[in-house]
Structure 1
Amino acid sequence: MSMITNPILPGFHADPSILRVGEDFYIATSTFEWFPGVRIHHSRDLKNWSFAGSPLTRTSQLDMKGNMNSGGVWAPDLSWHDGTFYLIYTDVKQWHGAYKDAHNYLVTAPAVTGPWSEPVYLNSSGFDPSLFHDDDGRKYLVNMVWDYRSGNHPFAGIVLQEFDEEAGTLTGPIKMIYEGSDIQMTEGPHLYKKDGWYYLLVAEGGTEYEHAETVARAKTIDGPYETDPHYPLLTSRGNPDLTIQKAGHASLVDTPNGEWYLAHLGGRPLNGKYCTLGRETSIQKVVWTDDGWLRLAHGGHFPQAETEAPDLPEVKVDKEPVRDDFNTDVLGGAWNSLRIPADPSWCSLDDRPGHLRLYGRESLSSVHHQSLVARRQTHFACRVQTSVDSAPEDFQQKAGLVVYYDTEDHAYLHVTHHEEKGRVLQILRTVGGSYEEVLLPPQRVAQNGPVELACDIHYDTMQFFYRDAETADWQPLGKRLDTTHMSDDSAPDVRFTGTFVGMACQDYSGRRMAADFDYFDYDIKES
């Protein structure tokens, strides 16, 4: 029996929306404040997945400048009907405190690779919207409603409203169709229709260690919906020994030969708590009972680290390259920027051929104009390495290698300038917003030419290294640093992304110092 090993999308790939079109499977996942918005992966066998593209590539579709940490794109929904792909997404501007400023949009495309349309605004009543295409041709939007009022549960329930595609607007009455189970915090709705029943899948319990997925059903689309008496369908809560924790926020797909699978998010904690890779996408085989309810094929409610693969030919895919020499015209699909596109005004592959040139802008604490290009950390043990050529003239200019969760938590090995030593290396670390310079004094390096920088990440610790024209071998730099503060779970309030590794450049003076990166390696250190 062939098995699928979870997670199928390792690293920060949360809130999966799975879809089949013919023999092709697609999964869309959240990107939050990272640009471009939404990642879509493709498979023919549910086991082997490759990156297919990011549909939100223009600021006219998604402008997140100024969005707070863990804002931006929450829980996209990918669907298909009559030759057109539909993508529903939320742009969350503010989410801490009582209010949620969350705006919901629709874009469409003739193919999953695009071109994707300009957005159609839908509503702002809550987040996690999804679009259901009924078999009579009518379309409906469902989303959770946020109730900020004192004394009310903020997760007020799931509402439904018809979508008039020709007019490009929601129409008709807004109806509350489901208020959830006693688990509460009901969100992430997806509607399906099978054997005359409408099935509503919802996430409950919050996206941390109490997370769960619940199923309800009704004979008519607007209810009343009956909760599966054996809820939840899926959860990790109460079982700390599971490899996959936080299981929930799921979506459903069938195969061409009638097997069914549930894609869901989950996290793999270090030290019992810290999911440094973020919330990842896993998959479980499911079956329908004789009385029309959904169950995990292996029984019980808990996710497994392996699940039975479908009866489909296995289709191998090319692995993501471990090295980028920056010899192409555009950045590869692994690369991301923060909140706004990586445009030529600050990120160029042409100004010095064979290099990625970054022009220094704002600090790593900025939510507006960072010069940072990064990719997901997808393995607990890895080595990342780059070569930077820059000539900082004072302490306000710097460029180097960054391990980044958000503006509050990151570690940064960079080249900068010291009044007495000249060009030096410094390690900047920010933990929960508290700034620290790790090297006192900073390390002097060759005054001209490139400097190679590296970081070995081994589960809950990391070690920086450097090599320049004056050092033949790699030299460790600073102490081993903790990685667990770069996780959803280390902050006093919940947050939603994962660790990234990449390159950055700052110039607080406004002179826009240039830094040239010759390559970037991502070397997996675990089997």
Structure 2
Amino acid sequence: MIRNPILPGFNPDPSICRVGEDYYIATSTFEWYPGVQIHHSRDLVNWTLVARPLNRATQLDMRGNPDSGGVWAPCLSHADGKFWLVFTDMKRIDVSFKDSHNYIVTCETIDGEWSDPWYVNSSGFDPSLFHDEDGRKWFMNMRWNHRGPGTGGNAAHAAFDGILLQEWSPEAGLFGPITNIYDGSPRGLTEAPHIFKRNGWYYLTVAEGGTGYGHAVTMARAKEITGPYETQPDGHLLCAADAPDHAIQRTGHGQYVETPDGQAYHTFLMGRPLPGRFCPLGRETGIERCVWGEDDWLYLEQGGMLAREALPGLADAEPAPTVASEHDFRDGLPPEFQWLRTPYPDRLFTTGPEGLTLFGRESLGSPFEQSLLARRQEHLVYSVETRLHSAPETYQHAAGLTAYYNAHKFHALALSCEADGGRALTILSCAGDWPDGAVTRYPEAPVAVPDGPVELRVAVDHAELQFFWRVPGGDWQPIGPVLSNAILSDEGGRGAHASFTGCFVGMFAFDLTGGGASAVFDRFVYAPKP
């Protein structure tokens, strides 16, 4: 059985691609580096991370990008013997403007070295590439109207100014007329276009309603790729807006795929809210099985618009069991870890016989150069333990363990130096978006710790988070109060339309003197509970 989500934790905007009997899903990574996650499966049940293709400065440099900026909505396809990946690098997300630059990279193998990018345009975000049967390639993106009332014709949200279509080739770039092919359904906020062709129809899948609880997957079709497109009779393929008690919410932004024997599936992003309607695991990836009606429209296999938590897969397979993972970093950085924004990780960390060495850079939350190595929270209940070797010389040196959503939503247990020169632990907590959020210290009187290594622990149980510490071989001691894990979600702070990534847990170091003081971590254990 397939169990939704198929990609738990922060894995939004799933673009699915089949090559033979192999299935690949590309998801957005926003400000986390390297850019784009690509998972592989042969049964649609179990998925393995196989590539993060945007991994060098000539492809992607996000220093200075805002929280929830960076890599938006990749589109993965395969044609002409190679993979094609389209993506947006979003440089601004607030106020009226969206500075969104769209690129294409290619590679003959999914896990090879991807090309330097072709720049395509900047008229909007959520780009997509369709390879037609005659060999022509068509580029799409939604157009953003910063002025107010849009010309896309949809009063539900004037800034979302329709889906643009134009022919593209590697040699000529964009050429020919620009056609606004679809202005959306009455739900509005129409974005994330993908086209596929079946039985003489061009089918357009879009996301609508915003990425919160009004999200939806909408389909339209036309006989010519340039339109006119008619919207599906039921309004949407997937939408949970009218079912607030359903376990799977926020369904939208996905793509159609067909198996070699003609079975139909559609991916989507989703959220699993806890009481109070917050999703600490962020926007995850789900999939549903669909059927084609006699009217040549696509419908969910079970009817209605609500996604199931379990559905048939392609093989007699069950999801892999939940297990703990432990690393000492002597063999390099494990694949689940990422850092923020910069294409120059050698300035942030190194791995070797001693473990993971972080070089203190800018403060927690800096949008430029921040030494933070972390992995996704993938479970509602988990704990993380790490062992830290650090000798801070001033209160401007700090290193430790953090549960981190963004610059204004994090909790961190920091080992630093106090006025008497001794080492001490304190919690640095930021519980909301600027300007309402400010860093608070818990406890106000830092806890002195002896020389030598110190072990740090964070335990999360749904909406609650607690830090602990000990000297090696000692007993775990709680430090500070039970904190809100609900804050570390899309819904925390300014809400799901202002931040839409996910929570990470990992190690950090900062040195506000600019000296690059180092800290060593030689153990990291992520222990989830089903």
Aligned to 2:195: 191
Aligned to 2:80: 82
1:253-272 residue pairs with structure 2 within 5 A?
253-272=257-276
CA distance in 2, matches of 1:472, 1:34: 35
Aligned to 2:120: 122
**1:149 maps to amino acid:** R
Aligned to 1:376: 376
CA distance in 2, matches of 1:485, 1:316: 30
CA distance in 2, matches of 1:318, 1:170: 47
Deviation at 1:260, TM superposition (A): 0.8
Instruction: Indicate how the Cα distance of structure 1 residues 346 and 130 shifts in structure 2: closer, same or farther if over 3 A, else same.
Output: same
Aligned to 2:130: 132
Check whether the contact 1:371–1:504 (CA below 8 A) recurs between aligned residues.
Answer: yes
Check whether the contact 1:385–1:452 (CA below 8 A) recurs between aligned residues.
Answer: yes
Aligned to 1:355: 355
Aligned to 1:273: 277
Check whether the contact 1:197–1:220 (CA below 8 A) recurs between aligned residues.
Answer: yes
2:51 to 42, 50, 53: 53
CA distance in 2, matches of 1:395, 1:180: 54
Check whether the contact 2:409–2:493 (CA below 8 A) recurs between aligned residues.
Answer: no
CA distance in 1, matches of 2:112, 2:448: 49
1:407 aligns with 2:420: no
**1:131 maps to amino acid:** L
Deviations along 1:176-213, whole A, 9 cap, x unmatched? 00111111100000000001100000000001000001
TM-score, normalized by length of structure 1? 0.96
Deviation at 1:458, TM superposition (A): 0.4
**2:27 maps to amino acid:** T
Aligned residues: 517
Aligned to 1:475: 477
Aligned to 1:460: 463
**2:169 maps to amino acid:** D
Check whether the contact 1:50–1:318 (CA below 8 A) recurs between aligned residues.
Answer: no
Aligned to 2:165: 160
Aligned to 2:444: 440
CA distance in 2, matches of 1:62, 1:259: 36
Aligned to 2:40: 42
CA distance in 2, matches of 1:367, 1:252: 35
1:45-444 residue pairs with structure 2 within 5 A?
45-152=43-150, 153-167=158-172, 169-310=173-314, 312=315, 314=317, 322-328=325-331, 330-341=332-343, 343-350=345-352, 353-420=353-420, 422-432=422-432, 433-444=437-448
CA distance in 1, matches of 2:482, 2:319: 38
The sequence identity of aligned pairs, in percent, is: 49
> Structure 2 regions of 5+ residues with no counterpart?
151-157
| SS across alignment from 1:304 | coil
Aligned to 1:490: 492
Aligned to 1:516: 520
**1:302 maps to amino acid:** L
Deviations along 1:452-473, whole A, 9 cap, x unmatched? 000000000011011115x721
**2:160 maps to amino acid:** F
Deviation at 1:317, TM superposition (A): 6.7
**1:482 maps to amino acid:** S
CA distance in 2, matches of 1:472, 1:127: 52
**1:162 maps to amino acid:** E
CA distance in 2, matches of 1:146, 1:40: 27
| SS across alignment from 1:344 | helix
Aligned to 2:153: none
Deviations along 1:43-84, whole A, 9 cap, x unmatched? 000011111110000121010000001000000000000210
Deviation at 1:345, TM superposition (A): 2.5
**1:154 maps to amino acid:** A
Deviation at 1:313, TM superposition (A): 5.5
Structure 1 stretches of 4+ with a deviation exceeding 6 A read: 315-321
Instruction: Indicate how the Cα distance of structure 1 residues 410 and 316 shifts in structure 2: closer, same or farther if over 3 A, else same.
Output: closer
CA distance in 2, matches of 1:236, 1:381: 25
Instruction: Indicate how the Cα distance of structure 1 residues 342 and 386 shifts in structure 2: closer, same or farther if over 3 A, else same.
Output: farther
Check whether the contact 2:3–2:319 (CA below 8 A) recurs between aligned residues.
Answer: no
Instruction: Indicate how the Cα distance of structure 1 residues 342 and 502 shifts in structure 2: closer, same or farther if over 3 A, else same.
Output: farther
Instruction: Indicate how the Cα distance of structure 1 residues 314 and 305 shifts in structure 2: closer, same or farther if over 3 A, else same.
Output: closer
| SS across alignment from 1:250 | coil
Deviations along 1:237-293, whole A, 9 cap, x unmatched? 011111111001010111122101011000011223111110000010001001100
| SS across alignment from 2:382 | strand
Deviation at 1:148, TM superposition (A): 1.2
**1:116 maps to amino acid:** W
Deviation at 1:477, TM superposition (A): 0.9
| SS across alignment from 1:387 | strand
CA distance in 2, matches of 1:520, 1:166: 48
Check whether the contact 2:324–2:527 (CA below 8 A) recurs between aligned residues.
Answer: no
CA distance in 1, matches of 2:260, 2:330: 40
| SS across alignment from 1:364 | coil
Deviation at 1:523, TM superposition (A): 0.1
